[in-house]
A and B are shown apart, each in its own frame.
Chain A
């Protein structure tokens, strides 16, 4: 079964890059995209149009989002009993230490900086794939007994 990944990213360029990167990594994934925080929450909560949305196995979250900020999204995810078990990785251009700290405080599973160079970006995605999606064990999808 392909992994369901939720990518919360407002820049379509970055979205496409990410897709390409995963493809190069060779992993079969289903990349769901939310372009802002509100949409992300709706997706996660399977609200509105996202009533039939799959539950993501993994979330890649940018911080600087319109409408609802990535930090808020993170907070919401990690407060929600059902959602907080989903590994959530912050993927952002912000190098601010305050962001890093805040993110971990909010229980982000990991904090990654988007590299400027394409190669470096591809390498990062590859590493994430190897570590998080291959080596690491993810929690079961349904929490149904």
Chain B
């Protein structure tokens, strides 16, 4: 390829330039490193210079300072310092000089430096000497200013200049470095990138090239494959390759077909072997090759010879193939068989071989020109034994005649007549055996003229069958055809020899499709095995075994569907031996039913076993056909001991009778009568023990007729309970009769089922007049409603609600009179369900009493009110005349005291005193009675406010005695009548202050919570105290413990307190010891739950 070198060049160039760039990059990197290190050195150098300059400065200063110090202190130690500094100066100056040797600017400065140094040192030395010599110093005072200083200044200036210079250089160098570094960087980057790009490009080109090549190679391979396939595919043409000398290199099927040689046989051979010997002798093959080689290709037509030595004409094209150098590699040959119809011949040949029947091709003279392997088999000849022979050898009679054209018709016509028709003839085997055949003819036009292809079918079986049929015709045909089941007759080798219409239908085949076929086609498994006589038994025996047995197998239809079948076999003697007639019944339906039944049986069986009661299934003969594990347990038998036994073994009496149909009724009717009823009988255990049972029957249809399922329940417990119950009922009855109250038992329907003698008396009925009657007859309203379960609750709930509660209702006597009653209900369970026992008490007396009580209370209430009013009015009206008496006796006393005699004074004094006492008493009485009559409703009251008010009211007494009143803080809000609460506090605190002898009366009001709702107040004082024996008395009206002249007061104060406290729902208490003060306690309610305190 011409492009190849170019590509190569490109790749070379690419790689070359990449390498060049890399080198360049390397060079540059190296350069930059060098520069960098140089720069580093310079920097270092500069730093050194600076350092030394610094040291110089320092040394100079040290010189100055040490000299100064020495001059001041005159201590030798400073001279040491001085000397050291001098040395340093020298050293560092030398260093600087050396370092800056390449810098002329710096160098110029150095002499100045040295000069200054020398000056300074000189001066220093001078001064030192002076001091040493104890001579005064010039300008001693001005060490600061002076030549020394100036020198220092100059010196420092120079140093600084040098430093600056060095710095400048540093900066410059730095900049340079940076510049070159960045330049280098740039070049590096660019170079690297470029190098990469080129490499990538080159690589890509190479890659592309490679893949292109790969594709090309693949394409080449592909085309080679196709070519090969093509070559192989072509069958009509022989296409093969030869070597330069004519050796066969490749061979295709076409060549094979044409020559009859396989590739294995042909490859390697010289192609001249397919030439006729005379051609070989003439040297034709070589000549052909030579011509082909000379001209590139050569076409020739000539004779060839097949493997079987048959000759044929071909037209062949030889093409020389040369390599790129032009050297002859070989030849490719394409040749075509010129024999007419050779293509169709070949095809035809194939078909022929593959045909299931024997195929024989006969020419016009009756000679066999072609036959297939089936023909060989059928007639027992080898091919070459028949080829060329007359067909009459194998079909003696009938073939030729039909074919030979006579004057009346041509071959074609003759043929035409035969076409399609199956002609029955006799075939003759090599061994002389004859067999019936059926031939089907078809013409075949060929180069040699019209040939006849005959398809020959061995119809011996069929013939036999036909014979059989004829044999059996009279006997069986009718039967067979008419049979409702499919009938198939099979011979000893398992072939179907006969079948009927039903069989055709069942299996979906046509008769002739099955005749002669193996029965295994329709009954794959099971049939043949049973029939084929084996070493152990003969066919007859085998058949005999199967006779009359219904065997279940699977049948297979033509469409492949399988279905369950039952076959019944019977032998059939015939000329050919024992045949087996099989009646085949499609049992798919039955099978489904059986499956269902099995399922149901399974379910049923499960139910049976799981049932809590004993279950026994009995057949019409009274035998137990089924039982469950409960039955085993109950009766103490094992299952197998009971199955099949008469049910009377376990239920001696009563079962069978009920079931056995008699003349009057059928089983069904008998059953019907029992259905649902629980029948009580006696069961008999295995051990002979009897026990009461209850059976419930239900019918069960089965294949064996009607069975009876009996659920057997052991009711011994229940029976015992029933006995108990009746016993108890007796006892209960006794109790009932003895009860003091009327007792009535009512059932769920509201009817009286039981009553006692008291009930008879109360209601005025006789027992039998009430039994069974509705309870509403005696308790019209209210009883039934409470008891009868309604939709919302059951009887139990209804009863439960009433238990214990006394319900008041109205009862009605027989004479119609009504009276009030109280009911107490209690439930009573029994067999019939829930009964309600009602204890009925006549409460008319109680009711009256209640009424009376109510009246009395009313009266009392009224009289109390009256009394209250009376007290009020009385005391109020009493005031009037009393006022007169009191006032006028006072006036008398005032006006005439001292004016009459002393007796008169005394009398008047007593009168005045009595009158005023009476006034006070009446006032107190009024106040006491007002607690009740003028009392307001209790409301939320601040006890704090009430106390404050009481204190205000008492301020006179408090101030007088200097009393101290304290209280807990805060005092709660309580439920009280405000005025009365004030009065209460006022009385108690007033007492505390009054009943006090000496000192300061102290009163403390405290409060403590009591439970959730109460406040316990306490008023404690430090007064006289009270003797406990008087605790009761002091709260009485007008009770006093002291003489009138000791303490004033009517003695009603505490009585009022008591009344107030009691009115508030509490009670007043006192704790005291004489001389130790008293504590009065009372409780008040907290604000009631219903009221909410409102912030005011």
- Interface of A with B (CB < 8 Å)? 11, 13-14, 17, 20, 93, 114, 116-119, 121
Contact = CB atoms under 8 A, between A and B. Distances in A.
Contacts of B886: 116-118
Across the A-B interface, give the 7 residue pairs with the lowest CB-CB distance, nearest first: A118-B887, A13-B884, A118-B890, A116-B883, A116-B919, A17-B887, A116-B879
B888 interface: yes
Interface in B879-906: 879-880, 882-884, 886-888, 890-891
Interface residues of A, dominant DSSP: helix
Among B884, B886, B923, residue most surrounded by chain A Cβ atoms (within 10 Å): B884
A114 B883 contact: yes
Given A116-B919, A116-B923, A93 B887 contact: no
A14 B884 CA distance: 7
Given A13-B887, A13-B888, A117 B919 contact: yes
A135 to B, nearest CB: 27
Interface residues of B, number: 14
A20 B882 CA distance: 18
Nearest to A16: B888
21 contacts: A11-B880, A11-B884, A13-B883, A13-B884, A13-B887, A13-B888, A17-B888, A20-B891, A93-B876, A93-B879, A93-B880, A93-B883, A114-B883, A116-B879, A116-B886, A116-B923, A117-B886, A118-B887, A118-B890, A118-B891, A121-B887
A53 to B, nearest CB: 28
Nearest to B919: A116
A114 B923 CA distance: 14
Contacts of B891: 17, 20, 118
A17 B886 CA distance: 11
A121 B916 CA distance: 14
A17 B884 CA distance: 9
B181 to A, nearest CB: 118
Given A13-B884, A121-B887, 12 more contacts: A11-B880, A11-B884, A13-B887, A14-B884, A17-B891, A93-B876, A93-B880, A93-B883, A116-B886, A117-B886, A118-B891, A119-B890
Interface in B661-715: none
A126 B101 CA distance: 138
Among B883, B884, B886, B890, residue most surrounded by chain A Cβ atoms (within 10 Å): B883
Contacts of A117: 886, 916, 919
A118 B889 CA distance: 10
Nearest to B883: A116
Contacts of B883: 13, 93, 114, 116
Contacts of B884: 11, 13-14
Contacts of A13: 883-884, 887-888
A11 B876 CA distance: 16
Contacts of A116: 879, 882-883, 886, 919, 923
A99 B890 CA distance: 30
Contacts of B887: 13, 17, 118, 121
Interface string B425-466: 000000000000000000000000000000000000000000
Interface string B913-939: 000100100010000000000000000
Contacts of B888: 13, 17
A13 to B, nearest CB: 4
A118 B892 CA distance: 12
B708 to A, nearest CB: 100
A116 B920 CA distance: 10
A110 B341 CA distance: 163
A93 B876 CA distance: 9
A114 B916 CA distance: 16
A114 B882 CA distance: 13
A25 to B, nearest CB: 15
Contacts of B919: 116-117
Contacts of B916: 117
Interface in B588-606: none
Nearest to A96: B876
A121 B887 CA distance: 9
Nearest to B886: A118
Interface string B33-57: 0000000000000000000000000
A88 to B, nearest CB: 22
Nearest to A17: B887
B1092 to A, nearest CB: 30
B868 to A, nearest CB: 16
A114 B884 CA distance: 12
A14 B886 CA distance: 12
A114 B883 CA distance: 10
A92 B887 CA distance: 16
Contacts of B890: 118-119
A102 to B, nearest CB: 18
B256 to A, nearest CB: 149
Interface string B844-885: 000000000000000000000000000000001001101110
Nearest to B884: A13
A84 B635 CA distance: 121
A121 B890 CA distance: 12
A9 to B, nearest CB: 12
A114 B886 CA distance: 14
Among A13, A118, A119, A121, residue most surrounded by chain B Cβ atoms (within 10 Å): A118
Interface string B298-316: 0000000000000000000
Contacts of A118: 886-887, 890-891
Contacts of B882: 116
A114 B880 CA distance: 10
Nearest to B876: A93
A36 B883 CA distance: 20
B914 to A, nearest CB: 15
Contacts of B876: 93
B930 to A, nearest CB: 10
B878 to A, nearest CB: 11
Contacts of A20: 891
Contacts of B923: 116
Contacts of A119: 890
B722 to A, nearest CB: 82
A128 to B, nearest CB: 17
A114 B919 CA distance: 14
Nearest to B877: A93
Contacts of A14: 884
B921 to A, nearest CB: 12
A17 B885 CA distance: 11
B241 to A, nearest CB: 151
A62 B683 CA distance: 112
A13 B892 CA distance: 13
Nearest to A119: B890
A37 B684 CA distance: 118
A119 B888 CA distance: 11
Contacts of A11: 880, 884
A67 B891 CA distance: 31
A93 B884 CA distance: 13
A13 B884 CA distance: 6
A47 B876 CA distance: 36
A103 B87 CA distance: 134
B918 to A, nearest CB: 11
A145 to B, nearest CB: 45
A11 B887 CA distance: 13
Nearest to A115: B883
Among A13, A14, A116, residue most surrounded by chain B Cβ atoms (within 10 Å): A116
A33 B756 CA distance: 88
A93 B877 CA distance: 10
Interface in B188-205: none
Nearest to B889: A118
A11 B886 CA distance: 15
Nearest to A13: B884
Interface string B216-259: 00000000000000000000000000000000000000000000
Nearest to B912: A118
A110 to B, nearest CB: 21
A55 B890 CA distance: 34
A20 B919 CA distance: 21
